[in-house]
């Protein structure tokens, strides 16, 4: 039996120098590819292709520009705290302000008010009173989280408790539902 003719492929035998040359060439390709990176991709919109219904950013209402419904006599109303966020889901921020009369002595009660701007009206205005100063409450914490107003209110268990020394603490929240702010007290009132 005769073996078929096989060409002499002695030149295809690998030697260590072949492996060194291959490794060097591969290293050069990797190094060169890391230096020659393509430019970062950037997106540019063609003029006139901006979204049509995107609302322009609106600044939250400034409490300094509002006349609050407080009777302060000869002293001024002072904004003690404020927090902002979209409370009614319309995409525009509201401001919640804790305000009291700047009394020279004692602890004046706070009012907690929600401020907004009309769609065409640039002037901020009070649209809701969450805490009336007549309730003799003081807000120690105020925050807007997840479309809800959260506050810690200090108050009094009876009319006999002096104004200097509130003895009741309530953690409360308000949420916009069916066209009004609804108050929820997540925890029971605690005596201080």
Query: Does the structure show a pLDDT above 60 at 38?
Result: no
Q: Quick one: DSSP state of residue 24?
A: H
47-102 pLDDT tens trace: 555 455 655 677 899 999 999 999 998 999 999 999 999 999 988 999 999 999 99
**49 — alpha (psi -120 to 50), left (phi > 0) or beta?**
alpha
Residue 57 lies inside a defined structural domain of this protein: no
pLDDT at 122: 72
pLDDT at 181: 94
In the chain, pLDDT over 70 holds for what percent of residues?
Answer: 65
Please report the beta strands in the chain, taking only residues with DSSP state E, as ranges in sequence order: 77-85, 94-101, 111-117, 124-131, 138-145, 148-155, 168-177, 180-184, 190-191
- Positive or negative CA dihedral for 60, 64, 65, 66? positive
Residue 115 lies inside a defined structural domain of this protein: yes
pLDDT at 45: 47
Residue 103 lies inside a defined structural domain of this protein: yes
Residue 2 lies inside a defined structural domain of this protein: no
Residue 20 lies inside a defined structural domain of this protein: no
By three-state DSSP, how is residue 10 classified?
Answer: helix
Range of the domain at 183: 63-191
Query: Does the structure show a pLDDT above 90 at 23?
Result: no
How far is the C-alpha of 120 from the C-alpha of 65, rounded, in Å?
Answer: 17
Domain count, the chain: 1
pLDDT at 97: 97
Query: Does the structure show a pLDDT above 70 at 105?
Result: yes
């Amino acid at each position: 039996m005769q073996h078929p003719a096989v060409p002499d492929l002695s030149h295809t035998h690998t030697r260590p120098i072949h492996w060194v040359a291959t490794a060097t060439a591969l290293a050069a390709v990797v190094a060169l590819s890391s230096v020659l990176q393509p430019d970062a991709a950037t997106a540019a919109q063609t003029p006139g292709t901006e979204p049509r219904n995107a609302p322009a950013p609106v600044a939250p209402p400034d409490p300094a520009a509002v006349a609050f419904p407080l009777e302060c006599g000869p002293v001024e109303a002072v904004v003690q705290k404020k927090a902002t966020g979209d409370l009614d889901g319309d995409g525009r921020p509201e401001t919640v302000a804790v305000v009291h009369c700047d009394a020279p002595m004692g602890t004046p009660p706070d009012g907690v008010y929600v401020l907004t701007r009309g769609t065409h009206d640039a002037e901020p205005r009070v649209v809701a009173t969450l805490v009336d100063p007549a309730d003799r409450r003081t807000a120690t914490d105020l925050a807007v989280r997840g479309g809800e107003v959260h506050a810690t209110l200090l108050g009094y268990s009876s009319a006999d408790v002096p104004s200097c020394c509130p003895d009741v603490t309530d953690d409360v929240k308000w949420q916009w539902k069916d066209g009004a702010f609804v108050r929820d007290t997540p925890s029971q009132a605690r005596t201080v």
